[in-house]
Structure 1
Amino acid sequence: MKKITLLFIVLISAIGYSQSVVINELDSDTPGIDDQEFIELLSSTPNFSLDGYVLVLFNGSASGGDSSYFALDLDGYTTDVNGLLLIGSTTVSPFPQLIIPANLIQNGADAVALYLGDDIDFPEGTLATQTNLVDAMVYDTSDADDTGLMALLGVTEQYNEGSGNNTNSIQRFDDGLGNPNSITYVATTPTPRALNDGSGILLNGVLTSVTQSQVDEGSVFDITFTTEQNVDSDLTIDFTLSNGGFDTSDFTGNTSVVIPTGQNTIVTTITLIDDVLDEGDEVLKIVIANLPTVYIALNNNLEVRVVDNDFVVASFGTPLNPTYGIVASTQPSDYYNTLDGLSGSALEQALQDIVAEEGVVRAQTYSDIIDILEAADQNPANSNQVWLVYTEQGRAKLDYQTTSNNTGTWNREHTFPRSLAGYNSIDLDDFRDGKDVYWNTTADSLRHGNSDGHALRAADGPENSSRGNQHYGQYNGPTGTAGSFKGDVARSVLYMQIRYNGLSVESGYPSVTGQMGDLDVLLDWHRNDPPDDFEMNRNNVVYEWQVNRNPFIDQPDLVEYIWGNQIGNVWSQPLSVASFTTETIKIYPNPATDKLFVSGKQQLYNLSIFSSEGRKVLSQPVVNNSYVDLKLASGLYMVVIESEDKRITKKIIIE
C-alpha cells in the first residue's frame, strides 16, 4: 500500500512540473511611476493557444483578504515562436502581446495565478483557490510572508522581488531534470519577451520613432522605423495612424514602408491636412500591424498630438481678464420667486428647496464630471482647453490625468474636499453615461456631493495635490497668481452648505466631518471677486446637466443675507426694468468701501445712488468698466443705473 501511495505522489509531482503553461517572469514594481510592470507566460511548445486559460491577480493585504482584484481572460492569445506571451502596459518594451493598464500589478505580498477557466469565474473579491489551478506565484517586495495566501494556492514559498522601486523581476529557471528541485526562482535583471536562460530564437527588434510628439495641423513630421540588426531580406512594415476622430482624411503619406535587405532603417513623411473645422486637438496613433515571426516591436501605439488651429475664442474673457454682462443667466424667470419676503432659516430652507428639489434636480456620476468640466471650465481663449482654477492657465482637454503621474495634467478638484465632507465614489461613478442618465437626489443625498458640478473644478494635477484637503485660508493658491479663483471657489463652497444637509461653512479651521472653513475668508473672497461671465457660463452649463443653479452666482447679494451683514433682513430680488435685464449690468464689489465699478454692454451709464431714506446722495456719468469714487457713510444704498431710456436698480452695502 505504501509503494502505491509513493508512486502516486511521484506521478503527481511529475505532472506538476511539466505544465503546458507556467508563469515565467513577474515584474511587480519598477522605479518611478511604476509603469514598466509585466507578467510573462511560457508554454512548453511554441505558438501555443491559450484558449481556456485565465490569469488572476490576488491581493494579499489585510483589506484585500487574499481575494482577486483582476482577472484576465486569455482566449484568443497565442505564445510566440519561443513559447512566450508578454502581458503589460503600452510603456513596456518590447511591446506586449496583451495590454493591461499601467500600474495595475500590486507590489505584494500578493499573488498571480494561472487557471483553466474564464474571467467570469473570478469576479472581484473571489478568494484564492486551487480549483483548476495551473500555476501560481506568491511574491512580495521585502514584505512578510502571506502564509494564508500561500496555503490557499498550495505553494510553499513566497518570492521577494526586492525592496520598493527595485530594478528586478522574479524569473523562473528549470534545469530540465523533471523533479521538484529542478525549478528555482531568482530576482534579477528583467528579460521581457526573451527566455530567462538566454536560449531560444533571437528576435530582431523594431523601434518606431518620430521627430515631434506634438504637431500643428498643416505641418509635416517624419516617422522612422529602425531594426536592431540589419534585415536579411526586405522587411515590409504596415502601420495605421487612425485613432478616434483622426482618420485617413486628416493626413497624406505612405503607411507601408520597406527596409531593404542589408539595411536597418526607413523614414516616411506624413503631412497633416489643415482643414477649417474645429475638431478639437486629436491624437494620432502609430500602430504597426503583424510583423514577420522573427521580428518583435520594441514599442508600438506611439502617439502624436495634432493641435487644431481652428479653436474657438469665446465672446467673454478668462477669469484673469474678466468681462461682465455678456453671458446672461439661463435661469427660468421665476426660479427664485419663492425667496421674496423671507429671512434667516426660512430663506435658507426656501433656497435649498430650489437647488435640491427632488424629482427636478439630477445627480450625475463622478466620471460624467469630466465631460461637465470640459464644457463648464472651457478656456474662453481656446475651446480645446480647460481653464485651471488655481494656476490660472489653460491646458489641453486631452491632458486629463489617467495614470498616477499627474505632471502636466489636469484633474477634478473638489472645492469642498471629500475627506472634509464625508462623501466618496461608488462603483457606478466609473461610468460616463451622459446627462440623460442620472440619479434622483434630495437635500439628504450627501454622497452626490462627490459629483456635484457646482463644487468641482478643473485643476492642475500637482496643484490639486498641494491643496489637498486644506481649508481656504490655510490654502490661498499658488504664490504669484492673481487670485482670480477666490470668489468662484467661495460661492462654490457656500452653495454646498445650502444644497446638502450635513455640510456647513464655519469660521476658522474646523476638524469636524461636514464642516469647512474659513467663513470669514470666503466672505472676503466673495465680496472682492464678484461673479463674471466665465462663472455665469459655467453656471449655465452645470444647469444643463443637473437642472439646478448656484444661486450665489445669479444673486450674489444672497450671501450677505445668509452669512454676511444682512442676516435677519428680509430678502427681495433686485428691482429692474424688464428690457434692461438682458444686459445684466454688474456693479461690484458689494459691499463696497471707496470705489464702485460698473460693467455692462454700453459705453456710458448714468449712475445715481440713494440712501435708505430715498435721498439722492450721488449722481454722475460713468464709463463702462470704470468706477465712481464713494465718499459715503456706511449703510444700505440703492443704485440706479440708466442708459438709453433703460434703467435698473440694485442694492449695495457701503462699509
Structure 2
Amino acid sequence: MFRKILILIFLLSGISIYSQVVINEIDVDMTGSDVNEFIELKSTTPNFSLDGYVLVLYNETNSLSYYAIDLDGYSTDINGIFLSGNTAVSPAPTLVIPNGKIQNGPDVIALYQANATDFPDGTLATSTNLVNAIAYSTAAATATNLMAIFGLTVSTNENMNGLGTTQSIQRKNDGTYEVKTPTPGMNNDGSGIILNYITVSTSQTNYNEGDVFDFVFTTSQPVTGSDLLFNFTLVNGNFMVNDYTNTNLTVLIPVGQTTASNTCTLFDDITDEGDEELLIDIQSVPTGYVINNDNLILRVYDNDYVVQTFGTPINPTYNIVTPTIPTGYYDSLEGLSGNALKQAVQDIIAAPTVRLHSYADIWDIIRTADQNPENSNQIWDMYLEIPMAKLDQQTTSSIVGKWNREHIFCQSRGGFEVANGDTADGIGVWNSTSAASFVDGVSDAHHIRAENGQENTSRNNKNYGTVNSATVYAGPSGTQGSWRGDVARALFYMAVRFDGLNVVNGDPSEYLPSTSIASGNIGDLATLLVWNHSDPRDDFEMNRNNYIYTWQMNRNPFIDYPLLVDYIFGANFGQPWSSSLSIQNPIENKVAVYPNPTTDYIIVAGLEGNSKVEIYTITGQMVQSQNFENEIRINIDLNAGMYLVKVSNGFQSTTKKIIVK
C-alpha cells in the first residue's frame, strides 16, 4: 500500500510539474482578413515566468515548423493568462503575432521548454522537451502525421458548430476541449479576478496633417485606490516626434472617474514626406489594469503631395509626356519586316547592356512607375482603376486592402524564378540578362504592375479576353478597361524580350503536355491585337516606360510605337517597318464610322463628350458638318463616290474614308 501511495504521489507531482503552463485557447480562423487570431496560455500559478518557453507552429502537409514564438521575458498575469495574437485582438495581446500567420489546419501548435532558435522554419516536428500540444482544424480533416509524432489522440474542429470564424477552441478544467465564443485574456470558465480594462479611441482612423483631435482613454470600471497614471507613445516608422505638437503623452484618470482625453495636433509641414501611420502604444500600467486595445494605428495623410501634369488611365492625356528615347535607339528597325524585324527588336530590348534587378527592387520601381498622377503618395491600381495608398503595400500574407506585384505574363505560364535574390539593393546594383534567360521575367518591370491583392488572386494565371470562361480574365465588372492596351503591349514586349514566351490564339495550356514545365504561352492573341488599338497608349504609360528605362536600360518599343505590334504579330506582318508609320492619333482607333459602304446615312460612334463630324469630297470640299455628343446618326444625300469623314474631339481628330453607293 505504501508503495502504491508513493507511486501516486510521484505521478501527481509529475503531472503538476508537466502542466504548470498549457495552451489554453486558440482562435485560428477569422472571417476575411484574419486579424483577430490568437494563442493563449494558462499557468497553474499567477505571474508565472515564461522564460525558457517557446511556441512552435507546425504544418501537417510536411510535418515541418513554419513559425516559432520565443516567450523569454514574458509572464502570465494575475489570473495565470498570457495572450499572444494579432493587433486587433481585444484585450490587446502581450505579444503580437503577424496577421494571417496562424494556418487554418489541420495542424498542431506545440509548447516547448526551449528557444525559438532551436526551431528555425522547416524544423521537423519533435516531442523532445514538449510541454503541451494541441491538434486542430477548421474542417473534418485531422493532422494525422503530427498527432502521431506528439502522441495526440484528439483533434478539435473549430468549425464543429458551423460557426468556426466566430468561435474558438478552449481548454476545459478537465483537460478536454470545447468550441464556443472566444474569451481572450480571461479564464475560459469565467472565473478569476475581474480586471479593469483600459481602452483608447479616436473619432476617426484617418487624419490629415494639421488636424487636431483627441485621444480618449476609458476604463471599464471607475478608478479606485489612487489616480491612474500611465504614459503612451506615438512614434512609428517614419512618424516621428516632430510630426506632432502640443501633445501630452501622460494620461491621468482621477479616482472615481473612467475617462481622460489628450489632444493631439498633427504638424503641418510644407514638404511631401509621404503618408505616415502613428501608433498609439500604451506603456506599462499599474497592477489590476489591463490594456484592452494597444497598438492602435492611425493613418496620417500628407497634404503636400505632388500632382503631375498628365492624367490617370481613366482620364488620360496624350502627348504631354515626351518619350526619352535615346538617339538612334530604334534606327536598326528601319526597312525590316517579319521575323527579321522581330529579331532586331529583341536585339535592342535584350541587349547585353540591359540590366536585371532583384525581384525586391520591383517594389521601389513600381512605387514610382505606377504612381498616381494626382497624388504622389498613392499608386494606381491597374485593374480596379483606382488609387491606393503606397502605405498599403502588402508585406504579410494578408491581401485584404493591400496591393502587390502583378505579373501580367503570369509566372506559372512563363516559368519565371526569383533567380537574382529577393533583397532590394537599389538602382546601382544589377546583374546581366539575356533573351535566353526567360526566368529573368520574374523581375522585368515592363510587365509588372501595382495591383490590389484580392484582384491579383482573382486574376490568377488566366488568359486575357472578353468571353465568359474560367480560363479568361476580362477584368473587374463596371470598370472602363483602361488597362487593356497596357496589358497587350506588356505581353507583346515579353513575347519578344524572352525566347520561349509566346502570345498565341485561344486558350493555350499552362504547362507543356504531360509535364509540369511552364508552356511559355499566353492568350488570346486576337483579343490583345484589338486591345492594342482600342486602348491607345497614353501619357501614364509613356511616363512609366521612361522611368523603367532608368533602371533597366531598355524600353517597351510597343509603347513608343504601338503600331509596331501589327508588323510583328498582326495584319502587317511581312511588310517593311518605318517609324514614320507609327505616329499615333489617340482617337484614331476609337472612332467607328459605319455602315461602309453606305447609301443614305452613317453612324459615328466610339467617343465620349462633345465632338464634331465633317464630311468632305475627295477634293477637299466640305459638304456636311454637325456637332454631336457621344454618338450620332447622320442622314446623307450625296452622289455615289468616295468621301472623307473628319471626326474631332477636343484637340484630337481623325479622318475615315467612306464609300457612298
Scaled to the shorter chain, the TM-score interval is 0.7 to 0.9
Partner amino acid, structure 1, of 2:282: I
Structure-1 separation of matches of 2:649 and 2:182: 71
1:598 alignment counterpart: none
**Is residue 587–residue 653 contact of structure 2 (8 Å, CA) maintained in 1?**
no
Aligned twin of 2:202: 210
Cα deviation for residue 90 of structure 1 reads 0.2
Q: 2:171 and 2:475 mapped to 1: Cα distance?
A: 52
Q: Following superposition of structure 1 onto structure 2, how do residues 555-570 of structure 1 map, counting pairs within 5 Å?
A: 555-570=561-576
Distance in structure 1 (CA, Å) of the matches to 2:136 and 2:585? 66
- Aligned equivalent of 2:23: 23
* One-letter identity of the residue aligned with 2:95: L
Q: Which residue of 2 is the match for residue 455 of structure 1?
A: 447
Map residues 203-602 of structure 1 onto 2, 5 A cutoff: 203-232=195-224, 233-252=226-245, 253-358=247-352, 360-365=354-359, 367-401=360-394, 406=399, 408-423=401-416, 428-429=421-422, 431-474=423-466, 475-512=473-510, 513-574=519-580, 586-588=584-586
Alignment partner of 1:198 is 2:201: no
8 Å contact kept, 1:251–1:273? yes
Q: Under a length normalisation based on structure 1, what TM-score does the superposition of the two structures give?
A: 0.82
Cα gap change, 1:128 to 1:466, in 2 (>3 Å): closer
1:627-642 residue pairs with structure 2 within 5 A?
A: 627-631=653-657
CA distance in 1, matches of 2:177, 2:402: 39
The answer (yes or no) to whether the contact 1:31–1:165 under 8 Å persists in 2 is: no
Looking at structure 2, the residues matched to 553 and 432 of structure 1 have their Cα atoms a distance apart, in angstroms, of 27
Q: CA separation in 2, counterparts of 1:36 and 1:593?
A: 52
Note the 1:135-146 alignment, pairs <5 A. 135-146=132-143
Question: In structure 2, which of residues 645, 651, 658 is the aligned counterpart of residue 625 of structure 1?
Answer: 651
Q: Distance in 2 between matches of 1:315 and 1:231?
A: 57
After TM superposition, the structure 1 stretch with the greater mean CA deviation from structure 2, 586-595 or 348-357, is 586-595
Root-mean-square deviation over aligned CA pairs: 3.3
Q: In the TM superposition, what is the alpha-carbon distance from 1:335 to its structure 2 partner?
A: 2.8
Q: Which amino acid aligns with 1:508?
A: G
Distance 1:508 1:589, change over 3 A: farther
Change (3 A) 1:407 1:108: closer
- 1:278 maps to amino acid: D
* Farther off after superposition, 500-509 or 487-496: 500-509
- In the alignment, the residues of structure 2 paired with residue 340 and residue 542 of structure 1 have an alpha-carbon distance, to the nearest angstrom, of 24
Q: Deviations over 1:313-347 (max 9, x none)?
A: 11222223333333223343233344344332232
- 1:183 partner SS: coil
1:108 to 105, 110, 127: 105
Change (3 A) 1:45 1:401: same
* Contact in 2 for aligned 1:363/1:448 (Cα 8 Å): no
Q: Assess if the C-alpha contact under 8 Å between 1:235 and 1:259 holds in 2.
A: yes
Residues 586 and 652 in structure 2, CA contact (< 8 A), matched pair in contact too: no
CA distance in 1, matches of 2:234, 2:103: 33
Q: Secondary structure at the match of 1:18?
A: helix
Question: Distance between the aligned counterparts of 2:118 and 2:398, measured in 1?
Answer: 33
Look up the equivalent residue of 2:240 and give its one-letter code: D
Aligned length: 590
Amino acid at match of 1:228: S
Taking the aligned partners of 1:478 and 1:108, their CA distance within structure 2 comes to: 31
Q: Please tell me the residue identity of whatever aligns with 1:22.
A: V
Contact 1:33/1:404 (<8 A) preserved: no
- 2:434 partner SS: coil
For residue 265 of structure 1, report the CA deviation from its aligned partner: 0.7
Match of 1:65 in 2: 62
One-letter identity of the residue aligned with 1:50: L
Identify the range of structure 1 (465-474 vs 622-631) with the bigger mean alpha-carbon deviation: 622-631
Q: Which runs of 5+ in 1 are unaligned?
A: 175-181, 576-583, 596-608, 610-616, 634-655
Letter in 2 for 1:354: I
The CA distance in 2 between the partners of 1:439 and 1:152, in whole Å, is: 45
Unmatched 5+ residue regions in structure 2?
Answer: 467-472, 511-518, 594-617, 619-642
Q: CA deviation at 1:420?
A: 3.7
Q: Which residue pairs with 1:179 in the alignment? A: none
Deviation of 1:527 after TM superposition, in Å, equals: 2.0
Q: CA deviation at 1:569?
A: 2.6
- The answer on whether the counterparts of 2:369 and 2:547 sit within 8 Å (CA) in structure 1 is yes
In the TM superposition, residue 92 of structure 1 has moved relative to its aligned partner by: 0.7
Matched position secondary structure for 1:484: coil
Q: Secondary structure at the residue paired with 2:341?
A: helix
Structure 1 residues 59 and 10, CA, compared in 2 at 3 Å: closer, same or farther? farther
Is contact 2:361-2:425 (8 Å) kept?
Answer: yes
Cα contact 1:324–1:586 (8 A) shared by 2? no
Are residues 194 and 417 of structure 1, via their aligned partners in 2, closer, same or farther at CA, if it must alter by over 3 Å? Answer: same
Output the amino acid matched with 1:629.
T
SS of the residue corresponding to residue 458 of structure 1 reads strand
SS across alignment from 2:435: coil
Q: Structure 1 vs Structure 2: percent identity of aligned residues? A: 52
Residues 1:29 and 1:631: Cα distance change in structure 2 (over 3 Å):
closer
Contact map agreement 1:28 1:169 (CA 8 A) in 2 = yes
SS at match of 2:17: coil
TM superposition shift of 1:389: 1.6
The structural deviation recorded for 1:278 is: 1.2
Answer yes or no: is 1:99 the counterpart of 2:125.
no
Task: Determine the structure 2 residue equivalent to 1:172.
Answer: 171
CA distance in 1, matches of 2:589, 2:99: 52
8 Å Cα contact 1:412-1:457 kept in structure 2: yes
User: What is the CA deviation profile of residues 347-368 of structure 1, one whole-angstrom value per residue up to 9, with x for unaligned ones?
Assistant: 2223223323456321421x43
Equivalent residue, structure 2, for 1:83: 80
2-structure distance, mates of 1:508, 1:311: 44
One-letter amino acid matched to 1:375: T
Check if 1:148 corresponds to 2:140: no
Moved more, 622-631 or 198-207: 622-631
Q: What is the CA-CA distance between 1:465 and the residue it aligns to?
A: 4.4
TM-aligned CA distance change 1:511 to 1:503, over 3 Å: same
SS in 2 for 1:362: coil
